Amino acid sequence: MMRKSEYALWALLVVAVIAAGSTVVSWARSPSASAGNSGIYKQLDLFGEVLERVRADYVEQPEDPKLIESAINGMLTGLDPHSAYLNPKHFRDMQVQTRGEFGGLGIEVTMENGVVKIVSPIEDTPAARAGLRSGDLITHLDKEQILGLTLQEAVEKMRGPVNSPIMLTIVRKGVDDPFKVKVVRDMIHINPVKYNAEGDDVGYVRITTFNEQTTENLGKAVDDLKKKLGPNLKGYIIDLRNNPGGLLDQAISVSDSFLDKGAIVLTRGRNLEETQRSNARQGDITDGKKIVVLINGGSASASEIVAGALQDHQRATVIGTRSFGKGSVQTIIPLGSSGALRLTTARYYTPSGRSIQAKGIDPEVVVEEELPEDIKKKQDIIGTRGEANLRGHLKGEVEVEEEQSGSSSYVPEDKEKDTQLNYALDLLRGIKSVDTDVKKKAEAAN
């Protein structure tokens, strides 16, 4: 989860500009430093010795700013998967992204086994129009091999001027040979809220990310659905599947949109005085209509805050499969002209005090999507991914053997085959009910 100026969780957008910026770092020892700090200063002496040896004897002349930036990144990535250094250019681009408008290809990516893995193509972007899919592996960029590059270096190479082409070499499960895909870079405009009427009685709202426009666009969507459906409106489906997260304040305000009172989320840092509680204010934009929330293994961070808050207050029925399990807050700490630090500073908790870190949100009703054969085979081999699977993840407040975040993130393109969506529609229309037996089955499945 991120505070006001932060971007999404576990996935970096290809559209992000990640360049090797210059950073000047200096250490000054205070005469009043306590004896307890002597150990760290000895380690800094060791770092200084290694740095000078590299500068003096490496086979090629290294760039000093790059050495320091790499050292900083190494320190932060050693803490957890979500802490990182943002050089000045990356920091500026992150701020642009949170406004929902930026340039690039339009895919969320991560690094896996030395190559770039597509987490999800963003709708209505060059990547989506080119046919790129979740799970695709990018091995080459304009014939240049990715292996050996960091994720940031690969992302930087994928960025370029609007209307300029780039050739990606793709490895896809079920396709024997790698193939090339030409993608033309464009300005990406992210609409975080998509909606439509399902029949003449249910409002469907899909929230794809939590940027600065999410709450405002949610309000417009609900108002429009009220006008379209009028007195026939039975309720709303809030689809948070494959929503990777975003801004903490937006997660709070979206939750507040459906609540009249009570806690929304609690955040706790290392010290007790750092505990904060966000509360709902009077005013439910749906006028108390029934709500169903859809989640799956791709629902992370901000989307888990919303699902957890509405679930704890019994304001919504949560349907789907276990969420990703990212229950930590990252704070952006500006470093002047040197960029910023993205640092994990707190865990967040649902109103009832549940920490979902490395565990996730469990739905009241577990509904599995029927997987295509190629995706099923892949899942059988590598399993599902969640926070608990990330190397170096922050431990939750549960025993290691209880860590179980993540589930399938597959959502059928054809709504008629979307089992989770159709279950939600039947629930709102009274065709199905969440009775005691169903809840027991859901608990047993978890």
Selected catalytic residue, list 278, 301, 328, 409: 301
Selected catalytic residue, list 234, 289, 326, 359: 326
Specify whether 380 is catalytic. no
Domains in the chain, please, with CATH?
12-18+87-99+101-189 (2.30.42.10), 38-85 (no CATH), 193-445 (3.90.226.10)
Rounded distance between C-alpha atoms, residue 211 and residue 95, angstroms: 10
Q: Quick one: how many helices (H) and strands (E) in the chain?
A: 11, 20
Residues in the chain: 446
Rounded distance between C-alpha atoms, residue 319 and residue 322, angstroms: 9
Half-sphere exposure of 389 (CA within 13 A, CB side): 15
How much is the pLDDT for 157?
Answer: 86
Question: What is the 8-class DSSP label of residue 173?
Answer: T
Rounded distance between C-alpha atoms, residue 164 and residue 159, angstroms: 9
Specify whether 326 is catalytic. yes
How much is the pLDDT for 100?
Answer: 76
Determine the residue type at 380.
D
CB 290 within 8 A of CB 429: no
Interior angle at CA 96, CA 186 and CA 238, nearest 5:
85
Rounded distance between C-alpha atoms, residue 415 and residue 367, angstroms: 15
How much is the pLDDT for 2?
Answer: 57
Which stretches does DSSP call E strand in 175-252? Answer: 179-184, 186-189, 193-198, 202-207, 235-239
Specify whether 223 is catalytic. no
CB 344 within 8 A of CB 328: yes
Lookup: tokens for 192: 């975080």
Selected catalytic residue, list 136, 186, 256, 312: 312
Q: Could you state, in chain order, the average pLDDT of each consecutive group of 10 residues for the chain (446 residues)?
A: 44 31 32 63 91 96 94 93 91 80 82 88 89 94 91 84 93 95 89 95 96 96 98 98 94 98 95 89 97 96 97 98 94 94 95 93 96 83 80 72 80 95 97 65 46
How much is the pLDDT for 398?
Answer: 53
